[in-house]
């Protein structure tokens, strides 16, 4: 058991409903993780899990940093 130091995110594939929990320091680190994993083949639903129990959605696909990484990987 350990204490979560960063931000906890829940990544769910929308087709197969696979769930991953990822701890990241910031949103850029999360986006780098998503771009570099095999989950890019399926649409994803990403939510941040806050300490008070709220789970706001994270807009990954419309993020400028995400679009930049995708452009660089496709070249």
Domain ranges of the chain: 7-69
Q: What is the pTM of this model?
A: 0.86
In 3D, which of 39, 45, 37 has the Cα closest to residue 14? Answer: 45
Grade residue 42 by pLDDT with cuts at 50, 70 and 90.
confident
Q: Does residue 12 have a pLDDT over 80?
A: yes
Q: Are 6 and 25 in contact (CB under 8 A)?
A: yes
**pLDDT band at residue 9, thresholds of 50, 70 and 90?**
very high
Residue 73 has a pLDDT of: 74
pLDDT band at 57 (very low <50, low <70, confident <90, very high): very high
């Amino acid at each position: 058991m350990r204490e979560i130091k960063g931000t906890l995110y829940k990544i769910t594939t929308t087709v197969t409903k696979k769930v991953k929990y990822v701890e990241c320091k910031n949103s850029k680190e999360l986006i780098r993780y998503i771009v570099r994993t095999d989950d890019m083949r399926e649409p994803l639903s990403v939510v941040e899990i806050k300490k008070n129990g709220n789970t706001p959605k994270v807009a990954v696909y419309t993020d400028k940093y995400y679009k930049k990484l995708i452009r660089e990987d496709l070249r």
